[in-house]
Amino acid sequence: MVIDTVIPGGLRVVRVWDLPTRIFHWALAVCFIGSLGTGSIGGKAMAWHFGFGYVVFTLLAFRMLWGVVGGRWSRFSSFIYGPAAVLRYVRGRNRREEHHDVGHSPLASGSVFALLLFLSAQVGSGLVADDEIANTGPLVKFVSSATSSALTTYHGHVGRWILLGLVVLHVAAIVFYRVKRRTNLVTPMISGDKLLPADVPAAADSWANRVLAACLLATCAAGVAKLVSLGV
């Protein structure tokens, strides 16, 4: 469903974030916190740690697909910027048709891609990690012990701290926009809507799109389960 309510002053309520994107965002946040917490606790909590990791894997696979077929502002094509566009944004010389402040801005897009990249690296390293005590990744038998050892170190230390740093920067950016620019970035990721100029195109968010997203998510979950089972 696309909201199209005209507001005095030439603005209208525009659907920017479709429901699948919003669910992905908050589910990923919950799973990241859960994975971090259970990994720090260790012991019996590691069963939950692996579970959270598999869900994150599924969500990331889904986001790769949704970045191609999802709502307009969720597609990667809407926030892949060239050097010239980034420079214009930094200088405050945006072109009206670029709509940099609708979805992900040129700087925010870098943060998004970095998070997706390092989350993928964290999941991949976890699949072949071995703490040499009681926990091994499901695919550890497919790599050498040296590779597993190196990726275990990355997973438990390097990758963990990189992700924490990226999350802190993400939250800091949200606070900066709220305090300095009087822009609320959280509410639109809950409601899906922003108050924008009338010429800004809305993202498709129909039930047909949502059914497609559900099918893609189910396919990704099945694929992750199949991959994990290869190590059994």
- How high is the pLDDT of residue 9? 60
Contact criterion met (CB below 8 Å) for 129 and 148: yes
Is residue 117 predicted with pLDDT exceeding 90? yes
Segment 66-87, tens digit of pLDDT? 999 999 999 999 999 888 888 8
- How high is the pLDDT of residue 175? 93
Percent with pLDDT over 70 in the chain: 95
- How high is the pLDDT of residue 3? 46
- How high is the pLDDT of residue 131? 87
Is residue 171 predicted with pLDDT exceeding 50? yes
Sequence-separated (6 or more) residues with CB below 8 Å from residue 202: 2, 3, 4, 14, 15, 16, 72
Average pLDDT on 84-112 reads 81
Q: Which two tokens stand for residue 62?
A: 């889904």
- How high is the pLDDT of residue 29? 97
- Using DSSP, state whether 130 is helix, strand or coil: strand
Residue type, 160: R
- How high is the pLDDT of residue 139? 97
pLDDT-derived band at 6, boundaries 50, 70, 90: low
Task: Count the Cβ atoms, other than its own, within 10 Å of residue 19.
Answer: 17
- How high is the pLDDT of residue 8? 54
Average pLDDT, the chain: 91
Segment 27-56, tens digit of pLDDT? 999 999 999 999 999 999 999 999 999 999
Q: DSSP 3-state helix, strand, coil percentages of the chain (rounded to 5)?
A: 70, 5, 25
Is residue 184 predicted with pLDDT exceeding 70? yes
- How high is the pLDDT of residue 91? 79
- How high is the pLDDT of residue 81? 87
Average pLDDT on 157-165 reads 97
- How high is the pLDDT of residue 231? 81
Percent with pLDDT over 90 in the chain: 74
Report all structural domains of the chain as residue ranges with CATH numbers, in order of start. 20-229 (1.20.950.20)
